[in-house]
Amino acid sequence: MKKKLLSVVLTAAMAASLTACGGSEPAETTAAETTAAEAAGEAEESGAESGEAASLGNFEGQELSVSTFSFNAELLQKNVYDPFMEATGCKLIVEGGKNAERVTKIKETPENYDVVIIGDAFVADLADAGVLEETDYSGLSNMEALYDNAKAPFGEQYGPAYTFNRLGIVYDKSYCPIEITSWADLWNPELEGAIAIPDITTTSGPLFYYATAQMEGLTPGEDDDAIFAKLAELKPNVMKTYTSANDTITMLNQGEISVAVLLDFSYTAAKSASEDYVWVDPAEGSWSGYNTLNIIKGCENMELAKAFIDFYLSKEVQLAEALDGVDSPVRMDVELTPEQSANFTYGKEMIDSLLIPDWNAINQNKAGWTAKWNELFSVQ
């Protein structure tokens, strides 16, 4: 199942119509739908506490162009886009796609975009290209509710993270010949032709590169030849180096692979297909990244862009996204049950234990790593 380009242009009136009719969804309303969709009305009635929809302002007639992921597009439409348009009267133009393609488009035509929702190394890439607006995000009403490492992961002049994610291993215990507990287990000869790993150009690719380096006590950017030598030892076990988590989940479901290296939110989508899928936080530690919200340089509707980012960080949205299994919350005040937070990067203890790579080093070395990666894995 290939990722498709999502292009959504909706007016506030259309959003209200979708909410009233429920689209193609059943009439029953989930807790997440209630939380996000009713945020505007509840905020007006309760006096509009910090970050609630009524404090966003009236942006009738204004437009905001957003570049984002295609993953979980329908749930984002329900939890974020429709409620925001209804609350503000604005029109959102949402375009989805793969990260590398989106970065290229933003660099070539930054005037076509106002906000970019993207992760880690791609933020560093866009910042180095000078297409991100350097502005003060500290005034956002929801900023103080975030974990400290989510407030300004790339510096105070750039935008906050709205979710943490961590890399792990998913395996199908009904087909996988071994029990997996560590990154090192992926090199087991019994897994020949059974594994999918992320391509180095993806969000999770550099995290896996760091995990490989860590096993050998190596430093990315300094010991790259030795790291690639270790990856070469893994090659017989690799069925696929993927750029689409959706495709990888399909391969897992169809039995083409029995092991996949995935980010936690991808496992949330995969686990409904089989009770035999097992998530592993590797014994060596969990490498993690962020997805962030940033404004593109030249954005004409700065206040609307900041209102959108603030809304994305609101407790209402963060809770709705968590309950729907979309994103781990970065707010300290979003409380989830163990069942609701299963496999999420959630809670102070876990967040404090995360291993964070050097994203600037990744951006500086990505071209060289990509060339070596393509040479190694060119034949799949």
In angstroms, how far apart are the furthest CA atoms of the chain?
Answer: 62
**Whether residue 240 sits in one domain with residue 204:** yes
Task: Please give the pLDDT value at position 378.
Answer: 84
Count CB neighbours of 129 within 10 A.
Answer: 14
Q: What is the dihedral of CA 253, 256, 259, 260, to 10 degrees?
A: -70
| 379 band by pLDDT with thresholds 50, 70 and 90 | low
Q: Is residue 254 part of a domain?
A: yes
**Whether residue 83 sits in one domain with residue 50:** yes
**Whether residue 174 sits in one domain with residue 103:** no
Q: Is residue 1 part of a domain?
A: no
**Whether residue 155 sits in one domain with residue 41:** yes
Q: Give me 153's structure tokens.
A: 């992961």
3-state helix, strand, coil in the chain (%, to 5): 45, 15, 40
**Whether residue 321 sits in one domain with residue 277:** no
**Whether residue 185 sits in one domain with residue 121:** no
**Whether residue 171 sits in one domain with residue 151:** no
Give residue 186's domain range: 165-288+355-377
Q: Is residue 314 part of a domain?
A: yes
Cβ-contact 97, 5 below 8 angstroms:
yes
CA distance linking residue 177 with residue 223, whole number of Å: 32
Q: Give me 8's structure tokens.
A: 């959504």
CA distance linking residue 344 with residue 159, whole number of Å: 22
Q: Is residue 263 part of a domain?
A: yes
Count CB neighbours of 349 within 10 A.
Answer: 7
**Whether residue 118 sits in one domain with residue 50:** yes
pLDDT above 70 (res 380) = no
Residue type, 295: I
Q: Give the H/E segment covering residue 246.
A: helix 245-253
CA distance linking residue 80 with residue 77, whole number of Å: 6
CA distance linking residue 80 with residue 59, whole number of Å: 16
| Between 85 and 19, the higher pLDDT residue | 85
pLDDT above 70 (res 41) = no
Total structural domains within the chain: 2
Look at phi and psi of residue 184 and say left if phi exceeds 0, alpha if psi is from -120 to 50, else beta: alpha
Q: Give me 173's structure tokens.
A: 């215990």
Convert the pLDDT of each residue in 302-323 to its tens digit. Answer: 999 999 999 999 999 999 999 9
Convert the pLDDT of each residue in 140-178 to its tens digit. Answer: 999 999 999 899 999 999 999 999 989 999 999 999 999
Rounded mean pLDDT, 374-380: 81
Any residues with CB less than 8 A from the CB of 116 and at least 6 apart, and which?
Answer: 66, 67, 68, 102, 106, 126, 132, 293, 294, 296
Convert the pLDDT of each residue in 261-299 to its tens digit. Answer: 999 888 877 887 888 999 999 999 999 988 999 999 999
**Whether residue 370 sits in one domain with residue 227:** yes
Where residue 255 sits, what CATH number does that domain have?
A: 3.40.190.10
Q: CA end-to-end span of the chain, whole Å?
A: 19
Any residues with CB less than 8 A from the CB of 141 and at least 6 apart, and which?
Answer: 50, 51, 55, 310
Length of the chain equals 380
**Whether residue 256 sits in one domain with residue 129:** no
Q: Is residue 337 part of a domain?
A: yes
Cβ-contact 59, 88 below 8 angstroms:
yes
Q: Is residue 188 part of a domain?
A: yes
**Whether residue 364 sits in one domain with residue 215:** yes
State the helix-helix crossing angle for 224-234 and 205-215, rounded to 10 degrees: 100
Task: Please give the pLDDT value at position 305.
Answer: 98
**Whether residue 171 sits in one domain with residue 160:** no
Q: Is residue 2 part of a domain?
A: no
Place of tokens 């995000």: 137
| Between 45 and 62, the higher pLDDT residue | 62
Q: Is residue 107 part of a domain?
A: yes
Convert the pLDDT of each residue in 209-251 to its tens digit. Answer: 999 999 999 999 999 999 999 999 999 999 999 988 888 999 9
